[in-house]
Amino acid sequence: MDAALKELLEEAARERRFAEVRRAMEAHPPDETYLKELREWESEAWS
């Protein structure tokens, strides 16, 4: 398989995975507990 074609196929697969994750997150948005934990983690990570 040509390297350029392989790269295009991998990129398309990656885009499909991101689209699936995006749809799942839209269907099941994070709750406040998760968002609080995420904010705390980000605060600690950047301190």
Using only the alpha carbons of the chain, give its radius of gyration.
17
Confidence (pLDDT) at 2: 93
| pTM of the predicted structure, to 2 decimals | 0.59
Q: Residue 39 belongs to what domain range?
A: 3-45
CA atoms lying within 13 Å on the CB side of residue 5? 2
Confidence (pLDDT) at 1: 72
Work out how many domains the chain is built from and give that number.
Answer: 1
The tens place of each residue's pLDDT in the chain, 47 residues long, gives: 799 999 999 999 999 999 999 999 999 999 999 999 999 999 998 87
